[in-house]
């Protein structure tokens, strides 16, 4: 449940006067914010508090995360010089990540900590567009028009992503999730030629470590088959594709994560319970299931509903 913490008053209080990226660079804040939703909701795993833009900031990209907007990049990446300036990430660039993960693993005990990073297409889109984008037009212009430059950008971003995940694994994260959130903007053929080779390599390199690998994107109904060819152990599905149908699209032996519509949490409890039952029933067709929302928690979600949801899923899946 990404951004589960954002719905909490204790999160908003802690974040008062602290910019998002400053919070992501302070081990004390990372640890506390990561633990808040675990304490309040009793979820089975914690997701590391950071952002997909943190490693890019750490290699010197001038960017900010604006409240209610998202990542904003001062000088969008559009040409060969911009791409060449993207240097590799070194563990020493993110000492606060190593420190916070280590501390969290101690605090969490048996409860797994999920580390994460942004996928190369999604990072490229923020860098090239300069911020959140509806149509990803500059990104696609570069991808279609300058394939060699695109390949170089993908190589560099994949290396940064892989290293960011390795740092978290080395510090003790017990699973990793790759958020290539916006790949749903691509046709299957474009995804296959321009993104899949890079994510495939990321997952292949991660196979050296003994940690489950999760892969997630939004609006990926038509891409689920290809997405699962990238090689993760678990594929995250948004709410648009029922899980029993998603099973038919992914590779055999792939577990699924998802996929309650986050907006359902605004309906009456009867509806929430019915929809949750439906997700759990459809998930029985899958080779393993991680119950989750189909995307992040909406910031105005009532924490009491999330609390009840976690309890309900625990009761329904006990034994
Ligand atoms: C696309 C993307 C981003 N960040 C992330 C993605 C991929 C996942 C997805 O598909 O949603 C990933 C992310 N971002 C954050 C987490 C940490 C875990 C968690 O808090 O649950 C994770 C896993 C913290 C965050 N990242 C952000 C917040 C909210 C900022 C705040 O509270 O001030 C948090 C808790 C900001 C952010 N950062 C980003 C966006 C679009 C936003 C939202 C902007 C807004 O509406 O305010 C980029």
Q: 3-state SS string over 142-189?
A: HHHHCHHHHHHHHHHHHHHHHHHHHHHHHCCCCEEEEECHHHHHCCHH
- Nearest residue (CA) to ligand 1, atom 26: 51
Closest by CA to 124, choosing from 80, 157, 161, is 157
Known binder of ligand: residue 5?
A: yes
Structural domain boundaries enclosing 276? 4-317
- For ligand 1, whether the C-beta of 181 sits within 6 Å is yes
Q: How many A from CA of 6 to the centre of ligand 1?
A: 9
Q: How far apart are CA 217 and CA 239, in angstroms?
A: 11
Digit-by-digit pLDDT tens for the chain (319 residues) are: 778 788 899 999 999 999 999 999 999 999 999 999 999 999 999 999 999 999 999 999 999 999 989 999 999 999 999 999 999 999 999 999 999 999 999 999 999 999 999 999 999 999 999 999 999 999 999 999 999 999 999 999 999 999 999 999 999 999 999 999 999 999 999 999 999 999 999 999 999 999 999 999 999 999 999 999 999 999 999 999 999 999 999 999 999 999 999 999 999 999 999 999 999 999 999 999 999 999 999 999 999 999 999 999 999 998 6
What is the per-residue pLDDT for 319? 65
Known binder of ligand: residue 219?
A: no
- For ligand 1, whether the C-beta of 52 sits within 6 Å is yes
- For ligand 1, whether the C-beta of 67 sits within 6 Å is yes
Which position among 41, 126, 191, 198 bears the catalytic label?
126
The tokens describing 293, both together, are 């929302």
Which position among 2, 40, 156, 249 bears the catalytic label?
2
The tokens describing 35, both together, are 């633990």
Q: Taking the complete model, does pTM exceed 0.90, yes or no?
A: yes
User: What's the total number of domains in the chain?
Assistant: 1
Query: In the annotation, is 11 catalytic?
Result: no
Q: What is the domain-level CATH number for residue 257?
A: 3.20.20.210
Known binder of ligand: residue 198?
A: no
Query: In the annotation, is 111 catalytic?
Result: no
Q: How many A from CA of 279 to the centre of ligand 1?
A: 24
Known binder of ligand: residue 134?
A: no
Closest by CA to 276, choosing from 312, 318, 240, is 312
Query: In the annotation, is 26 catalytic?
Result: no
């Amino acid at each position: 449940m990404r951004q589960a913490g954002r719905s909490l008053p204790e999160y908003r209080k802690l974040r008062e006067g602290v910019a998002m990226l400053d919070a992501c660079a302070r081990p004390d804040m990372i640890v506390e914010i990561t633990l808040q939703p675990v304490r309040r909701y009793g979820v089975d795993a914690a997701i590391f508090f950071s952002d997909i833009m943190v490693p890019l900031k750490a290699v010197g990209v001038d960017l900010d995360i604006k409240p209610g907007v998202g990542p904003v990049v001062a000088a969008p990446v559009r040409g060969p010089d911009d791409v060449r300036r993207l240097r590799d990430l070194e563990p020493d660039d993110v000492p606060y990540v190593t420190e916070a993960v280590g501390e969290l693993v101690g605090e969490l005990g048996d409860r797994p900590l999920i580390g994460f990073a942004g996928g190369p297409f999604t990072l490229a889109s923020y860098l090239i567009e300069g911020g959140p984008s509806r149509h990803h037009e500059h990104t696609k212009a570069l991808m279609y028009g300058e394939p060699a430059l695109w390949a170089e950008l993908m190589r560099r971003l994949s290396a940064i992503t892989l290293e960011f995940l390795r740092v978290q694994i080395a510090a003790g994260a017990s699973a990793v999730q790759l958020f290539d959130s916006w790949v749903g903007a691509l046709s299957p053929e474009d995804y296959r030629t321009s993104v899949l080779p890079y994510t495939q390599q990321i997952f292949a390199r991660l196979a050296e470590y003994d940690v489950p690998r999760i892969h997630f994107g939004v609006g990926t109904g038509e891409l689920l088959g290809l997405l699962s060819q990238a090689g993760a152990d678990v594929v995250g599905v948004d709410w648009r594709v029922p899980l029993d149908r998603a099973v038919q699209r992914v590779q055999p032996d792939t577990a699924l994560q998802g996929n309650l519509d986050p907006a359902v949490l605004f309906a009456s409890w009867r509806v929430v319970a019915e929809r949750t039952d439906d997700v759990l029933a459809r998930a029985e067709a899958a080779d393993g299931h991680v119950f989750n929302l189909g995307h992040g928690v909406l910031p105005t979600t009532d924490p009491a509903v999330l609390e009840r949801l976690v309890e309900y899923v625990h009761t329904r899946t006990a034994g």
